[in-house]
Structure 1
Amino acid sequence: MFIKVQGNQFIKNNKYYHFIGTNFWYGAHLAANQSGDRTRLLKELDTLKALGITNLRIMAGSEGANHSPYNMPISMQPKLGVYNEDILEGLDFLIAEMQKRDMQAVLCLSNFWYWSGGLSQYVSWVTDETIPYPNDTNDWEKYMRFTAQFYTNTAAIDAYRNHIETIITRVNTITNTSYFNDPTIMSWELANEPYAIQNQVEYLNWIENTSAFIKQLAPQQLVTIGGEGNTPFPWFTNNNALADYKFESLDYITIHIWIQNWEWYNPNKHDKTYNDALKKVKNYIDEHLFIASTFNKPMVLEEFGISRDNLDYTNQSTVNHRNTYFKDVFDILLDHIKNETNFVGCNFWAWGGFGRVNTPGEVSNNQMEFIGDPAHEPQGWYSVFESDQTTVKLIKEYNSKLKAFNNLNS
């Protein structure tokens, strides 16, 4: 059965659906028969299932020439409107294997950031302008303003819409089920972390029109934006969750929290910065819970993470501070679930699983294997590996608590 929204809750098989899941953004690419590693993919899924993880957030689009800088090595859409069937069949395989394990997929259809091509690639394709990668220019504002041109470019939006239709109407080559008819797919996201920047009116039009378009194609599945919420700097991003989520075609609210990236927390000064950072986490959650309550929609914290201890990037380093943070976030979630508030699930960032850190702390094109850190970021930064047994044990423990609570209250 499809997951539905009933009031401020997700419902699966007539029961509340709560989850501690993960970001597994590279899942379709890992599942590709030729360029991926299906043996590892199956191992990852079995491991995640054993931890009680039932919800995976996955990229359902990657754009740009293969081996583009800071991007996935092999692209789903290497040229405008031209698809790599191997990656598409990887997505088929992933969804089919998730179905066997009774897992739910949150499929993100594009990206504001360039590590999967995304909106900036559509702009580049239709304008012939070069993407100003901030890894090269050290100018993030220039990149963001370049990408936000997307909302005002009809050709770019049309190309993006063609991708949406290609994916949602695709017939899975393994299950022979159309994607829009597959209950394994819980929801569709417009894009990962879209910012309005200088085009707020056009941004809102894009949200309204795209979410309605997806609902028309996939009326049985849920739709959300896939964004951070208000962000910690709304005066620049021009994101306003109260305006962004007002549309009936959006079923639930997502937020992301990045205590290091937003400079709330310093991993080299844990004792001095952590408590204040956690207060800001709680405030950010409460701020958006008010908005979720206003619309009577569920809310998911679908991205949060923290580095390994002392900003070490190697698999072997300790993760005591990460465990503290994860436990605190899980406790906040569990408390809200027990009180039946709108905060109903979370996805930590990000599952590195059985992958290895080949270039610790360095930006890498990930030519060797996928881990949780996208190619434009320091490798080993936020990845949670299977070998992080204390973190793995914590995730399993809290998913067991969620399951016990749901069974007791079903």
Structure 2
Amino acid sequence: MFSRRAFLASSGSLVLAPPLTSRTARPGFVTRDGMALMLDGRPYRFVGANAWYLAWLGADADFGDRGRLARELDALQGDGVTNLRIAASAELSPLKNSVRPAFRDRGPEYNETLLTGLDHAMAEIGRRGMKAVLYLTNFWEWSGGMMTYLSWVNGGRYLDMNDPAHPWPAFPDFIADFYRSGEAVDLYRDYVRAVVTRINTVTGIPYAQDPTLMAWQLANEPRPAGGVTEAVANLPAFYDWINGTARLIKSLDPNHLVSTGGEGLKGSVERPEIVLESQQSTDIDYMTAHIWPGNWGWLDRKDMAGTDAAARALSRDYVAQHIGFARQLDKPLVIEEFGYPRDGDAYDPAVPATLRDGFYDDIHAAVLADAQAGGPLVGSNYWAWNGEARSPHPDHRFRSGDRAWMGDPPHEPQGWYGVFDTDQSTRAHIRAHAAALAVV
């Protein structure tokens, strides 16, 4: 374990460069120029993946596997993936299905083994010329997240997601207290300071000076609340949390981009004004949107073939709406999560993913078309890369102590949305998109 105070002390010798623009950027840093992301004087557009678990693989511990980490990154690189969105946080939590080990507990001591795992993952990503987006907490329960921060300061009270005694939107409405709790937000921001000012123990490069990092992200899918009434009432606190945290990160690291990690309309109780206001700050460099037809009721998972066309049409409309929002704000847009089940809503990698391939093609086509038009949609990160991991259990459910880390988080069926190394058709579609985007 490593002390937060030691992290903060080490940051005293860190010399921060002035903010980077497309005109002043040092080689290798991604910057923003209006609706464009830029890298070395050229528009930066990318094919990306989510692989939240890479820090766990990078750890020198019984739960790590550095050999597998290298193989997974090689496979992704071979598919044309150049951008990875990964977790840089997890809070030790009483919530069901929350991942362990975690980066931190309630106190000022942080898990140096896992932080070094993140260092190792970042070093390996950088060696391959790839970029990383690091998110710093989670709205949802599977990595502890905001509910856990609340439980540390409110006497241990919390709700479990999908608790029949507390149906939706009780869970996200409870989390709304996080933004209003100065004590919980302070604990979170202590951790933000520690990670943003950290010096990579593998490369010796401060994170704030590392071109491997594309962006810091405030959280995975932060929402103001679940229900409309609670969300609207909580907006002042929600906006203060976004703007204050983004400003804090920029004060510690003016060299890198910052984004919220939000879903877009679905994470804003379908209110366009919330989408726009939450992204308004000059410290938020680009917009994000997530698309989940199977989770949102657009796709009937019991009749996938019969509802696929309608679900995909709604998804295309969703992308178009967010391109419009990005144009209004004159900021880039990334579709940084999009997922679709295997055929028949199965989890076994032996089952085809034909409908998923079509859905991926739609997202990729939108990115390519907007790139050709000089629009704000600069890239996408599919959810998620499972690689060579396989569930050891016939019910495909995660159990405490499992080490088969994969892109499907512990609260979900293992194999639900993730792309396995044997998904040759899906991987061929990703490679084709990468080749097309590279010549725009």
Does structure 1 residue 178 correspond to structure 2 residue 178? Answer: no
Matched residues in 2 for 1:274 and 1:124: separation?
40
**1:25 paired residue number:** 52
Match of 1:207 among 226, 236, 242: 242
Asked whether the equivalents of residues 385 and 419 of structure 2 are also in contact (C-alpha less than 8 Å), the reply is yes
**2:260 paired residue number:** 225
Change (3 A) 1:285 1:238: closer
Matched residues in 2 for 1:369 and 1:52: separation?
24
1:228-267 pair list within 5 angstroms: 228-231=263-266, 234=269, 240-267=274-301
1:53-132 pair list within 5 angstroms: 53-65=81-93, 69-132=96-159
Q: Which moved more, 1:109-118 or 1:138-147?
A: 138-147
RMSD: 1.7
Matched residues in 1 for 2:335 and 2:438: separation?
19
Report the residue type matching 1:114 in the other structure: E
**1:195 paired residue number:** 223
Matched residues in 1 for 2:396 and 2:144: separation?
20
**1:15 paired residue number:** 42
1:238 CA displacement: 9.5
Does structure 1 residue 328 correspond to structure 2 residue 362? Answer: yes
Q: Which moved more, 1:290-299 or 1:271-280?
A: 271-280
1:72 CA displacement: 1.4
**2:404 paired residue number:** 369
Q: Which moved more, 1:386-395 or 1:351-360?
A: 351-360
Partner-residue secondary structure (3-state), 1:220: coil
Partner-residue secondary structure (3-state), 1:267: coil
Asked whether the equivalents of residues 108 and 190 of structure 1 are also in contact (C-alpha less than 8 Å), the reply is yes
Asked whether the equivalents of residues 95 and 160 of structure 2 are also in contact (C-alpha less than 8 Å), the reply is no
1:269 CA displacement: 2.1
Query: Runs ≥4 in structure 1, deviation > 6 angstroms?
Result: none
1:81 CA displacement: 2.5
Partner-residue secondary structure (3-state), 1:266: coil
Report the residue type matching 1:290 in the other structure: G
Partner-residue secondary structure (3-state), 2:309: helix
Asked whether the equivalents of residues 232 and 262 of structure 1 are also in contact (C-alpha less than 8 Å), the reply is no
Change (3 A) 1:96 1:49: same
Asked whether the equivalents of residues 28 and 90 of structure 1 are also in contact (C-alpha less than 8 Å), the reply is yes
Does structure 1 residue 149 correspond to structure 2 residue 154? Answer: no
**2:17 paired residue number:** none
1:307-386 pair list within 5 angstroms: 307-359=341-393, 362-365=396-399, 367-386=402-421
Does structure 1 residue 51 correspond to structure 2 residue 85? Answer: no
Matched residues in 2 for 1:168 and 1:140: separation?
34
Report the residue type matching 2:280 in the other structure: K
1:294 CA displacement: 1.2
Q: Which moved more, 1:16-25 or 1:67-76?
A: 67-76
TM-score, normalized by length of structure 2?
0.88
Matched residues in 2 for 1:64 and 1:244: separation?
28
Matched residues in 2 for 1:131 and 1:275: separation?
39
Change (3 A) 1:134 1:363: farther
Does structure 1 residue 38 correspond to structure 2 residue 73? Answer: no
Matched residues in 2 for 1:312 and 1:360: separation?
12
Matched residues in 2 for 1:239 and 1:328: separation?
26
Partner-residue secondary structure (3-state), 1:223: strand
Matched residues in 2 for 1:125 and 1:239: separation?
33
Does structure 1 residue 159 correspond to structure 2 residue 194? Answer: no
**1:293 paired residue number:** 327
Q: How many residues align?
A: 403
Asked whether the equivalents of residues 361 and 381 of structure 1 are also in contact (C-alpha less than 8 Å), the reply is no
**2:3 paired residue number:** none
Report the residue type matching 2:36 in the other structure: Q
Match of 1:394 among 429, 432, 440: 429
TM-score, normalized by length of structure 1?
0.94
Q: Which moved more, 1:4-13 or 1:272-281?
A: 272-281
Asked whether the equivalents of residues 268 and 275 of structure 2 are also in contact (C-alpha less than 8 Å), the reply is no
**1:408 paired residue number:** none
Asked whether the equivalents of residues 340 and 356 of structure 2 are also in contact (C-alpha less than 8 Å), the reply is yes
1:324 CA displacement: 1.1
Q: How big is each residue's C-alpha offset from its partner over 1:155-183, in whole Å with a ceiling of 9 and x where there is no partner?
A: 00000000000100011001111111111
Report the residue type matching 1:195 in the other structure: R
Q: How big is each residue's C-alpha offset from its partner over 1:357-406, in whole Å with a ceiling of 9 and x where there is no partner?
A: 2235554246131111111112211010011111111111111111122x
Change (3 A) 1:321 1:118: same
Asked whether the equivalents of residues 360 and 380 of structure 1 are also in contact (C-alpha less than 8 Å), the reply is no
